[in-house]
Amino acid sequence: MIQIEEIHIQELRGIRDLRLKLGSKSFVICGPNGSGKSGVVDAIDFAFTGSISRLTGAGSGGLTLLKHGPHVHCRDDPGVARVAVTFSDTASGKTAVLRRNVRTAKQYTLEPDIAEVRAAVEKAQQHPELTLSRREIIKYIVAETGKRSQEVQALLKLDRLGEIRSILRTTQTKTSSAEKTAQEYVKTAEDALRRHLDLAELLTSEVASVINRQRRVLGLEPIDGLDHDTDLNQGFDVDLSERAFNKVSAVRDTTALMKALPDPVAFLTAVKNLNEALDFLEADPNILTTLQQHDFVTAGLALITDAQCPLCDLEWPDVENLRVHLTDKLARSENAAKLQVQIQEGARATIAESQSLRKLIGTVKSAASSNTSDGLDTCLESWSTELAALETQLGSVEGAIAQRPRLTSDPLGLPEAVSSGLADLLATLQAKPDQSVTASAKTFLTIAQERWNILRQARAECTKKAAAQAVARVVYETYCEVSNEVLATLYHAVEDEFSTYYQAINADDESAFKAQLEPSAGKLDLAVDFYGIGMFPPTAYHSEGHQDGMGVCLYLALIKQLLGTDFRFAVLDDVVMSVDSNHRRQFCNLLKTRFPEVQFIITTHDEIWAHQMQSSGLVTKAAQVRLHSWTVDDGPAYEEAGDFWDKIDSDLAKSDVPPAAARLRRNLESIMADLAAALHGQVAYRAEGNYELGELLSAVKGKHGKLLNLAAKAANSWNDEVVKACVEKLKIARSAAVLAEESEYWAINRAVHFNEWANFSKADFIPVLAAWKQFLALFSCENSSCESLIYVVSNNGNEEALRCKCGSFNLNLRIK
């Protein structure tokens, strides 16, 4: 994975020319709204992915990287909008410079261009989620369950799970339809044989009995039973030169067709079901459009090979974005797809019944062509052709819609001449002289064998289809089972991490917080504990700030699952803007302690939070930049981070007291809160978390004094003369600093409560400043490169030491 050492941005978004040295360490970009922070985020996004996510996706209609990526003054010259990033590959330790410009955004150059660093860039390119804003983070929390599932699966690169599931489900549906059709063919073939044998049911003993009666007439051996290989006419040669005619059988077939008409129940029931499904479609024309899109998009999804859309040739930032976009579209047409299945099932049943009817028509037509001359056979042929054409039309939803007038008026399309023709045919057949016993037996057995052959084939086919359906079902169910198991394990791991992170941020009031991620049928329910009262959706009772915190925690838990130890880099663009100051401090600790190897690039408009990130040790003093005074012509002005004392000195050099005083006051408030937390200083609890400087100062001073006394006692108990002297020196320094601070506190007090800085002169302010510098020096070590405040180290609630981050300041608090 990559980590950024330096970035040079030119003419991109709101930035004209900006060079930042990040040193492969966590870095803060601070500045008011509209100062160009997100421009830096866009530049990082662009450098590694060749696109800018803010210019794609929902709400970005009409925006393109080529037109809107360059600075507005360079919008006609995208080649000058460029980024150069010096980065290190954490796996190989090698460093390279990546260069990319907007005109040829898909290409980049590397220097040196070696395999390891190219692989690192490719990996970063596959993970655009490493750069994200609050808007993107909060979507994991506030999303609807179906949408959340998509977002989370997209983040975890699981969006093809749904596609595979859908392919296997469709496979199962298709094999199931094929099995039903095969079953209907069997039924049709059984009907034909049953009718010929004049049996109510095709019981083996009864079939054998009827067949043997005819065989006896011909002097043939009786058949013992009936199995798949039995030949009913074995022992005599069938005359294949002409179609066998059996008067009795022909009469039965004709009678059967006459009885079925004019209202063949099974056919008309199937048509009725089809019409009901088509009614829904007709009621909302948009469904048809969605349906057409569904097929179109499904086809498109299957054809994706790169970032170019196979449907419209539009170039997408990357192949995953394109896939997510089309999958989204498919999900939106899910209801339409269900209706499509209903229509297809109705059409399939109608086709099967029509085919069954045509088989009977075909049988009667044979009898008609050899026994009548009134054109009944032609009429039946033409009717059968009409029905076959209807079947073809019903093969598609569009075809079914086109046949709607026929389906709702006269689906059968029975020609008028058929009914009377059938009656005439029946009369003709009945009037024919009976066949000789031998001829009748021969033709009976021949037709029985023909129909038995058809039934055997239909049954064999049905067995195959049933087995194929069983296989498709097992395949689909096994995939669902396996993916659900893996996802459940994955989500439980995410759940645990998420809960742990959130507890760490909210240890003061939600230390027992827990979360549940429950996948079900393409959805992902998220429930969170609310103060032990129960599990609720995250948006039900938690505040917006808490939801922000949850969003980041869930994101971190997901990304950790996705990348594991490869998680070494993330850009967080103003992600915790609604989280209050106290919880942000905990958030800093979370990032610092749980993700020590990760380079976080964090933007914020809040200077206090920037300061908290420094005082917590998440970032160093040097790893910060302040952007300000942005103009269209010049982009942001910026200053590398420095000590806020330097800034106050700079204000005073211009005799500009009010901004210097305001800066002092805000930083004192922030530092005192940090110090109170670091030293375990106690203040009266305030539910809203808004502590006043005075109460924090008092807690810090009091606790600091107690800690020095404790350190002195500990040194005495261990008889450590060096430490005793050191503590004594610190106490003297403390007395002087506290005296100075208390002497000048009146100024702070008036300024805080009465806003009187404006009336102060530079001369008034300088001693105040000196007193506070002296006071705050008590809480830092002498090592100028150590930027942390001193803090209490405790173990199981026992305060054991007072230390700074570098270890130069280290007082034992344990008494012998």
Partner 1 sequence: MLSAVEANILAAFFERVSKAEEVSDDVVIGLRRAFASGKLPKPEQLVQLIADNNGELLT
Q: Which is nearer to partner 1, 463 or 709 (CB)?
A: 463
Q: At closest approach, how far in Å is the CB of 462 from partner 1? A: 11
CB 425 within 8 A of CB 228: no
Give the nearer residue to partner 1 in terms of CB position, either 338 or 654.
338
The nearer residue to partner 1, 96 or 494, going by C-beta atoms, is 494
If the CB atoms of residues 472 and 570 are measured against partner 1, the closer one turns out to be 472
Alpha-carbon distance of 458 to 462, in angstroms, equals 6
CA distances from 734 to 698, 743, 771, 799 (A): 14, 14, 12, 21
Cα–Cα distance, 600 to 40 (Å, whole number):
14
Task: Give the DSSP per-residue string, 125-152.
Answer: HT-GGGEEEHHHHHHHHHS-HHHHHHHH
Nearest-approach distance from CB 327 to partner 1, in angstroms = 12
Amino acid at 308: Q
Contacts of 524 (CB under 8 A, 6+ apart): 145, 148, 149, 152, 153, 491, 517, 518
Quote the least distance from Cβ 339 to partner 1, whole Å: 18
Q: Which is nearer to partner 1, 487 or 554 (CB)?
A: 487
- CB contact at 8 A, 194 and 202: yes
Smallest gap from Cβ 186 to partner 1, in A, equals: 15
Our CB check for partner 1 shows the closer of 95 and 561 to be 561
- Which is closer to partner 1, CB of 154 or CB of 637? 154
Q: What are the DSSP E strand ranges found in 448-549? A: 515-520, 523-529, 535-536
Rounded Cα–Cα distance for residues 99 and 266 (Å): 71
Nearest Cα neighbor of 123 from 148, 149, 98, 145 is 98
CB of 482 to partner 1, least distance (A): 5
Amino acid at 107: Q
**Least CB distance from residue 777 to partner 1, whole Å?**
52
Q: How far apart are CA 555 and CA 219, in angstroms?
A: 86
Q: Which residue type sits at 765?
A: F
* Minimum CB–partner distance for residue 475 and partner 1 (Å): 6
Q: Which residues bind partner 1 (CB under 8 A)?
A: 156-158, 160-161, 163-164, 167-168, 170-171, 174-175, 178, 302, 305, 460, 463-464, 467-468, 470-472, 474-475, 478-479, 481-483, 485-486, 490
> Residue 298 Cβ, how far from partner 1 at the closest point, in Å?
9
ω into 112 cis (within 30 of 0): yes
Residue 238 or 460 with smaller CB distance to partner 1 = 460
DSSP secondary structure string for all residues of 257-276: HHHH-S--HHHHHHHHHHHH
318 Rama sector, left if φ>0, alpha if ψ -120 to 50, beta otherwise: beta
Q: Decide: helix, strand or coil at residue 1.
A: coil
Cα separation of the two ends of the chain: 48
* SS3 at position 811: strand
Write the DSSP symbol of residue 788: P
- Nearer to partner 1 (CB atom), residue 221 or residue 306: 306
**Cβ contacts of residue 708 below 8 Å, gap of 6+?**
727, 730, 731, 734, 811
Least distance (Å) between residue 294 CB and partner 1: 14
Closer residue to partner 1 in complex, CB, 52/326: 326
Residue 316 Cβ vs partner 1, minimum distance, rounded to whole Å? 15
DSSP structure string for 9-74: EEEETTEEEEEEE-TTS-EEEE--TTSSHHHHHHHHHHHHHSS-GGGSSTT-TT--HHHHSB-GGG
Pick 57 or 310: Cβ nearer partner 1? 310
Q: Dihedral of the CA atoms 492, 494, 498, 499 (nearest 10)?
A: 10
In the complex, least distance from residue 304 CB atom to partner 1, rounded to whole angstroms? 9
User: Which residue lies nearer to partner 1 by CB, 463 or 735?
Assistant: 463
Q: Does a cis peptide bond (omega within 30 degrees of 0) precede residue 433?
A: no
Q: Which is nearer to partner 1, 560 or 626 (CB)?
A: 560
Q: Shortest gap between Cβ of 131 and partner 1 (angstroms)?
A: 19
DSSP structure class, residue 172 = H
* Shortest CB 455 distance to partner 1, Å: 15
If the CB atoms of residues 295 and 799 are measured against partner 1, the closer one turns out to be 295
Q: Is 189 left (phi over 0), alpha (psi -120 to 50) or beta?
A: alpha
Task: Tell the smallest beta-carbon distance from residue 578 to partner 1 (Å).
Answer: 32
The answer to whether 261 and 276 have CB atoms below 8 angstroms apart is no
Pick between residue 306 and residue 728 the one whose CB is nearest to partner 1: 306
Minimum Å gap between C-beta 164 and partner 1 is 6
Distances in whole angstroms, Cα of residue 401 to Cα of each of 113, 275, 279, 357? 59, 10, 10, 22
Q: Roughly what angle, to the nearest 10 degrees, separates helices 319-332 and 145-155?
A: 160
